[in-house]
Structure 1
Amino acid sequence: MTEVIVNSDVCGFVHNIHGILDGGNIVIDIDSPCEKIQRMGHLEVPILETLDIKDNYVIDRAQKENCSSNCLVPCAILNVCKIEAGFLARSLVKKAGGLSIEFKDA
């Protein structure tokens, strides 16, 4: 199981995302105070539909829920999927500790 926390300081929400490999899918559960993300609260993401950004299950779902283009949750979900599918090494993400966007002179 992979678990990540997304701190969306711009919108003021903290989201907890859990994912686990189940056959050809990654089962994602999200705990979030955001209504849009709550509607995406349980996903069964086909592994092969996470490889391309254009034809992508997670991005399609985010669009259907009218998520903002700067929402960090879809990116976090995709990272969980990559870890669970073995496309992103757990040792690498553990060493990195996280991802961030820092606004300078904004």
Structure 2
Amino acid sequence: MNVMMSIQIIPKPNDHEDVIEYVDEAIRIIDESGLNYRVGPLETTIEGTMSQCLSLIDKMHSKMQDMGSKSTMSQIKIYQSEAHQRITDLTHQYDEKNG
């Protein structure tokens, strides 16, 4: 695992439809991938290979369309390093303060 990817998925459902069920479904897809992840208030960070992360984006966008979203936008950040870094390597000092 040499990639950390953060994704904020922004579906545009039908008028007056809540986006929460769409976001919950995207998180379910991430969970079923078996990859390590952390849900944050504005985005979810996932650890995996580049191909695993890109495949998740494809699956999430396809599911949004299947659920009836008129359009879907994602904001994505990818961090790739030769060092085997994990989410907790970058957040442990803050986790202790907030835990």
- From the CA coordinates, give the structure whose radius of gyration is larger: 2
* Bigger RCO (CA 8 Å, 6+ sep): 2
TM normalised by structure 2 equals 0.31
TM normalised by structure 1 equals 0.30
